[in-house]
Structure 1
Amino acid sequence: MDLSSILSKQRTLWCASCQSKKRTIEEISQILAEHISGPSAHEIFDALIERERLGSTGLGDGIGIPHCRLPSCEKPIGVLLMLETPIDFDSLDKQKVDIIFALVVPQEANDDHLDILATIAGKFSHADFRDSLRATQSDDELFYVITS
């Protein structure tokens, strides 16, 4: 899957300044609400937080993939943040998170949701890929690496 179909340069932020998991999810919700019609930032935030309550989306190795399904979402959409300072994300490996790929999909998009998550998790499972993302110096570079 080509991640550029769900991610844009406008939703790719290098060196984002978020001090907590909650604040990061608020930032993601605001970004998404500005780029899609339908759900409000509050609706997106509530859905992402509800999903986090089921279990942390901190994958380990400094990666977080908060995600949810929303009835008012028309198509899959993502946000990528490279954090200025790593934050606690309740990851299983207890490592702080500095790379976050957030995903919101339509409520009925079960297969798409799982396929996209598998693609993202697969990319992030490679240390070389994570290192390439961490070596970027701008929004454009970060977008290029994630979509290459």
Structure 2
Amino acid sequence: MDLSSILSKERTLRCASCQSKKRTIEELSSILSEHIPGPSAHEIFDALIERERLGSTGLGDGIGIPHCRLPSCEKPTGVLLVLESPIDFDSLDKQKVDIIFALVVPQEANDDHLDILATIAGKFSHPEFRDKLRATSSNEELFQVITS
């Protein structure tokens, strides 16, 4: 899957400054609400937090993939943040997170949801890829790395 179909340059941000998991999810929700017709930032935040209550989406190795399904979402939409300082994300490996890919998909998109998560997790499983993301110096460069 080509991540450029769910991600845009405007939703690929380097050096975002967030101090906590909650504040990061608020920021992600705000960005997503500007690009998804229908749900408000509050609705997106509530859905992402509800999913986090089921278990942390902090995968390990500094990666977080908060995600949810929303009935008012028309197509899969993502946001990539690379934080200037890692934050506690309740990750399985207890490491702080500095690369966060948030994903919102339509309520009925079960297969798409799983396929996209598998693609993202697969990319992030490679240390060299994570290093390339962290080494970027601009949003444009970050977008080029994530979509290559």
Q: TM-score range by the shorter chain?
A: over 0.9
> Secondary structure at 2:115's aligned position in 1?
helix
> Secondary structure at 1:130's aligned position in 2?
helix
The residue aligned with 1:76 is 76
> Secondary structure at 1:19's aligned position in 2?
coil
Tell me, in whole angstroms, the C-alpha distance in 2 between the residues paired with 1:27 and 1:134: 20
Give TM-score, length-normalised by structure 2: 1.00
Q: How many residues align?
A: 148
Task: Give the CA deviation at 1:77.
Answer: 0.1
Tell me, in whole angstroms, the C-alpha distance in 2 between the residues paired with 1:76 and 1:141: 23
Task: Give the CA deviation at 1:145.
Answer: 0.2
The residue aligned with 2:35 is 35
The residue aligned with 1:94 is 94
Q: 2:111 aligned with 1:137, yes or no?
A: no
The residue aligned with 1:12 is 12
Identity of aligned residues (%): 89
> Secondary structure at 2:81's aligned position in 1?
strand
Structure 1: 4+ residue segments shifted above 2 A: none
Q: 2:120 aligned with 1:120, yes or no?
A: yes
Structure 1: runs of 5+ lacking an equivalent:
none
Task: Give the CA deviation at 1:78.
Answer: 0.1
RMSD: 0.3
Q: 2:26 aligned with 1:26, yes or no?
A: yes
